[in-house]
Amino acid sequence: MRLLVVGGGGREHALVWKINQSPLVEKIYCAPGNPGISELAEQVAIDAEDLEELLHFAEEQKIDLTVVGPEAPLVAGITDLFASRGLAVFGPNQKAAQMEGSKVFAKEFLRKYGIPTANFRVFESFDSAYYYLKNTDFPIVIKADGLAAGKGVTVAQNREQAFMALQQIMQEKKFGAAGERVVIEDCLYGEEVSVLVLTDGKDYLLLPDAQDHKAALEGDRGPNTGGMGAYSPAPVFSEELKKNVEEKIIKPVLKGLQNEGITYRGVLYAGLMITDAGPLVLELNGRFGDPETQVILPRIVSDIVPLLIACAGGVLKGHTLEIAPDYCACVVLASQGYPGAYKKGFLIEGLENFSAHTNPLVFQAGTKEKNGQVFTAGGRVLGVTAWDINLKGTLEKVYEAVDKINFKGKHFRRDIGYRALKRF
């Protein structure tokens, strides 16, 4: 089989790494890829959002399955475009991708089908949102409606922070058209868990759960990022909770989508807050999480390719998934200043200590190759990942590897997994 993976971040590196293990696969292409991915797949110089060029390439190379990593091409309709030409795609169609493309759509869907989530209101003008914030209690959560690369959410502790976030989203257009509407919702307290399923729209397979660390600084302080690290499994997510989530969230979401006439094929990602009142949905996404993918895929023993094909073809029923009992953790090495302004173009040293066959291994994200050397080229630069029989040993292994990698302005959190460690 010939596969095309769309995207060029750490999530896509992890996907290529896992797909490469399948005996079914003859050739993997990745567009646009990154220097780390080039060890396992042929890089293709096509942007992930250039749908027409991707289609042309897939037809020319007779691609058997396209696996879409990022949300933007899904929201733009890559699945619909490829399907119109008879090409198989793993990833929800444009209608289904609204679940991530619009927080308003997702929240109203959850309310319609009685799926537990925070109380919320939707605002289409700055003035109405501003007035509401003047008269509400804090803390409060403000979300840009559209795609904002994981950075469009602000947990405002007071009115000053709330007004600043609202101004950035709706007046300064920090996230462009994504900020034309905002969702303002109650702030939830508890532990976050990311629950992902592979689905063909009817049947599903539960992937290993994970806990992401979105705040930039240790102790969950600072602005939200796309994710500074993750680990799997999350001890807070007990077997009892897992059954609860399947019955009250996963199954009702899939049933609701069917009722709406939406065929959902791909990954359904539910970001949950485990509160005293039970699990509540923070967000629904239409793709693998980043960096959750980097800790989920190493725990999957099964060949993932037949599962991706089955989801894309609507024939997942009867398939099973074997998961290793190991813990897995990922620490993101970011550029200084991320998620705000940062400099790039710094030489990365120490990558020669790792390969696709080592544990720990390094998934590259914001990197660029020049004359055989790798340089920083983004906010989140690398995801250092390891697995072991217990979480403590896994984290020790990861941080030992982190210390072997250097670049100017290297920023990372030293407390990934701290909540879980308190439980042992």
Residues in a beta bridge with 349: 406
Residue 96: predicted pLDDT: 96
Strands 191-199, 204-206: pairing kind: antiparallel
**CATH homologous superfamily, domain 327-421:** Phosphoribosylglycinamide synthetase, C-terminal domain (3.90.600.10)
Which residues in the chain come in under a pLDDT of 50?
A: none
Sequence letter at residue 188: L
Sequence letter at residue 414: R
- Report the C-alpha gap between 138 and 140 in whole angstroms: 5
What CATH number labels 2-95? 3.40.50.20
- Give residue-wise pLDDT tens across range 286-304: 999 999 999 999 999 999 9
Nearest to 342 by CA among 216, 245, 242, 162: 216
**CATH homologous superfamily, domain 119-186:** ATP-grasp fold, A domain (3.30.1490.20)
What is the separation of C-alpha 82 from the centre of its chain, rounded to a whole number of angstroms? 23
Can you give the three-state secondary structure of 261-283, one letter per residue? Answer: CCCCCEEEEEEEEEECCEEEEEE
**Vertex 283 angle, CA 281 and 286, to 5°:** 125
- Report the C-alpha gap between 3 and 308 in whole angstroms: 11
Nearest to 304 by CA among 198, 404, 225, 196: 198
For 220, other C-beta atoms within 10 Å of its C-beta total 17
Contact 141, 187 (CB under 8 A): yes
Which whole-number Å values give the CA distances from 142 to 132, 183, 289, in the listed order?
12, 6, 21
CATH of range 191-313; options 1.10.10.10, 3.40.190.10, 3.30.470.20, 3.40.50.1400 = 3.30.470.20
Q: Which two tokens stand for residue 162?
A: 């709330």
Sequence letter at residue 28: I
Q: At what angle do helices 159-166 and 126-134 cross, to 10 degrees?
A: 170
Strand 140-144: give its sheet, edge to edge: 120-123, 182-186, 140-144, 153-156
Residue 148: predicted pLDDT: 84
Backbone φ/ψ region at 220: left (φ over 0), alpha (ψ -120 to 50), beta: left
Residue 152: predicted pLDDT: 87
261, with CB counted inside 10 A (0-12, 13-18, 19+), is exposed
Nearest to 242 by CA among 212, 270, 214, 276: 270
Where do you find CATH 3.40.50.20 in the chain?
A: 2-95
For 112, other C-beta atoms within 10 Å of its C-beta total 11
Q: Where are the alpha helices (DSSP H) in 64-202?
A: 71-76, 78-83, 94-101, 103-112, 126-134, 159-166
Q: Taking the model in full, what pTM does it have?
A: 0.95
- Give residue-wise pLDDT tens across range 322-367: 999 999 999 999 999 999 999 999 999 999 999 999 999 999 999 9
Run of H or E including 377? none
301, with CB counted inside 10 A (0-12, 13-18, 19+), is exposed
